[in-house]
Structure 1
Amino acid sequence: MQLRALRYFHEVARCASLRKAAERLYVTPTAVSRQIEHLEHFFGATLIERGARGIRLTADGQCLAEQVAITLRGMEQVREVISSRQSQIAGNISIFVSESIVSTMLAPVLAALSRAHPKVTFNIVIASASATVDALCSGEADLGLAFYLPERADVEVTAQCELWHRVLVSAEHPFASRDSIELAELQGQPLAIPDAAYGVRQALELAAKKRGVSFTPVFTTSSLETQKSLARLGSAVLILPQIDAEARDLSDGLIAVPIADDDLGRVRIDLCVYRNRPQSSASLKCQEMLAAAMRSYGLAR
């Protein structure tokens, strides 16, 4: 059994299409089909089923697909480690991150890293804290950068900092001229927040429970752009972390107003890796630069 066959099968499992997998691999559908047949012969089992609507994995095929994804990711990590031992900063870094800190914290670091080391590539996935931890443990993610990551013995926090939660509203909203907002004043406001898998939702509900306040979000969405668009139109109020504690006019049609609440006023960001997994030179360099950025923002811990 060759590594090529596993790569081809991995693409077929991802695309659910021999034709699309062939396009991604720059080979013919016949070449992909032949490699699938080799695997089916090797395992003595049918791995895919063809139908009028395309193909689907059998139960055996799904089992193999899950293991192949882990195997290929492990091979990529080994390749990157070997490259790092040859003093080359190269390879791919997979980062799972909370969307609201991409533009302010993550993007500047990745831009600087890419300029300095053009052979490094990046896979950036927007995810909740729980999904980030799962990705670290499964090997999908090299680095996790998120709010309030759940504690796991096999996940190591390498850097932390605190930012400031702010209420974001349109310039015409009555809150826009306020120096601060009490948590109770958000009751009855048309909140736009993500679902319970996200740290900001969990932090809000915990703080509200302690204060005896209840909230019923009008808009539940994990899309940051959707939240902001609704707020600009005056239809929603949202809560987001801000790097600059003093900034009010965000120059994007939104005004940031401080929250007068000890529990919700600050939010912790964790930079994490999977404990004891070898890290490539590229991943280590990215960690170093992110940690430095976190020290310069907010309240480093």
Structure 2
Amino acid sequence: MHASILKYFVEVARCGSIRKAAQNLYVASSAVNRQILKLESEMGTDLFDRLPNGIRLNAAGERMLQHIRVTLNDFHLMRSELDELKDERKGHVSVVAMDSLFVDFLPAAVEDFSELYPAVTYSIAAVTPWDVPSKVLGGEFDVGVTFIAKLPAGLDVAAQVALPPGVVMASSHPLARQERLSFADCRNHAFLRLEGRSPIQGVVSPKFAEFWDLLTPSVTCNSTTLLKRLIASGRGISFFSKLAFVEEIASGEVVWRPFDEPNINALTVGIITPTQRALPNVTHDFVRGIVHRLKQVELSLLDT
């Protein structure tokens, strides 16, 4: 059986939903469903009971899951042993990124990469978007993920996608009915702020900086996870890229609306590396993996 089929099966079994599994895997629901049907065809039996609100493993599926977990565990042990014999697939990956990447994107990226490179170690830090380039340029980290504006010399952009910051709110919020939002639209609504300067204050026009300084937040904290919960519960609006709300946007729990400001909408999220410093092969492999993942996220969020 192909490794992707096993991975899809385990995720569907864990989630009890093909749609939720597809979101977590950053692939289309149809692709996951197709792999599950293919596996059931190969086994000659259904592995899930189809229910009105999802799917559930049946007895055959439970036995299959048990077998897959043993198989994957043995595979990872074998790969680790081979890597030790070859002294390959080792090394250290250092990444610095803006906080919103720590919700889903980076945890999933590290999980996937660790399956292929179990001996690799990591240093991962969350900083403000405008601090990411200097951290990479100064040699503290080898890879950065942030909003891309004017970068200093000495940095390459491995990939960038159109995921600019916008306004996020509960689907029941009055502003959710509008297609685009001006600063004036946002000014009289409860605002939930991530502690510190605006995540885009250093990369857009002074007009946004003035707007930011006039806002009086009802909640200020340093946790994106806490803000996500408050936003979804209707406590107020906040400013984020869709990257921090992939699951909630897909489910309709929250909505994201662009600003009516070309400078903000032109911002992209990108992966940066140094140009003058040779990086280990394992870091290049990690970068290729997150480039692919970032593009998959962009595709999954089209028209949401």
2:262 partner SS: coil
TM-score by length of 2: 0.58
Describe the superposition over 1:163-183 as per-residue Cα deviations: whole angstroms up to 9, x where unpaired: 143321124421234444333
1:187 corresponds to 2:187: yes
2:262 corresponds to which letter in structure 1? D
**One-letter code of the match for 1:109?**
A
Structure 2 unaligned regions, length at least 5: 1-82, 300-304
CA gap of 1:267–1:88, structure 2 versus 1, over 3 A, is same
Q: Summarize the Cα distance change of 1:204–1:235 in structure 2 as closer, same or farther, 3 Å threshold.
A: farther
1:141 partner amino acid: F
Alignment correspondent of 1:176: 176
Partner of 2:159 in structure 1? 159
Report Cα offsets for 1:105-135 as digits up to 9, x if no partner: 3333322211111111222111113332332
SS of the equivalent of 1:298 reads helix
Distance 1:245 1:133, change over 3 A: closer
Larger Rg: 1
Partner of 1:263: 263
2:292 is aligned to 292
Deviation at 1:228, TM superposition (A): 2.0
Aligned equivalents of 1:244, 1:221: Cα separation in 2: 16
Q: Give the superposed CA RMSD.
A: 3.5
Aligned to 1:71: none
- Does the Cα contact within 8 Å between 1:164 and 1:298 map onto a contact in 2? no
Deviation larger for 237-246 or 256-265: 237-246
1:234 to partner: Cα distance: 3.1
Matched to 1:123, the amino acid is: S
1:128 aligned onto 2:128: yes
Match of 1:101 in 2: 101
CA offset at residue 252 of structure 1?
A: 8.4
The 10-residue stretch of structure 1 (256-265 or 118-127) with the greater mean CA deviation from structure 2: 256-265
Question: How far does residue 280 in structure 1 lie from its aligned partner after superposition?
Answer: 0.9
Q: What's the CA shift string for 1:235-268, capped at 9, x where partnerless? A: 3211111159999845484333343433333531
Kindly indicate whether the alpha-carbon contact (under 8 Å) linking 2:205 and 2:263 is maintained by their aligned counterparts in 1: no
Judged with a 3 Å threshold, the aligned counterparts in structure 2 of structure 1 residues 206 and 108 are, in CA distance, closer, same or farther, namely farther
Q: Gaps spanning 5+ residues in structure 1: where?
A: 1-82
Aligned residue-pair number: 214
TM-score between the two structures when normalised by the length of structure 1:
0.58
Shift of 1:195: 5.5
Distance in 1, Cα, partners of 2:180 & 2:224: 23
Q: Is the 8 A contact 1:130 1:149 kept in 2?
A: no
Q: Is the 8 A contact 2:147 2:267 kept in 1?
A: yes
Runs of 4+ in 1 over 6 A off after TM superposition: 244-248
Distance 2:235 2:282 in 1: 43
Q: In 1, are the aligned partners of 2:109 and 2:293 still within 8 Å (CA)?
A: yes
Identical pairs, percent: 15
Q: For the residues of structure 1 that align with 2:183 and 2:232, how far apart are their CA atoms? A: 21
Would you say the 8 A contact 1:97–1:144 is kept in 2? yes
Q: Which secondary structure state, in structure 1, belongs to the residue aligned with residue 106 of structure 2?
A: helix
Match of residue 40 from structure 1: none
In structure 2, do the counterparts of structure 1 residues 249 and 132 end up closer, same or farther at CA, with 3 Å as the change threshold? closer
The alpha-carbon deviation at position 193 of structure 1 amounts to 3.1
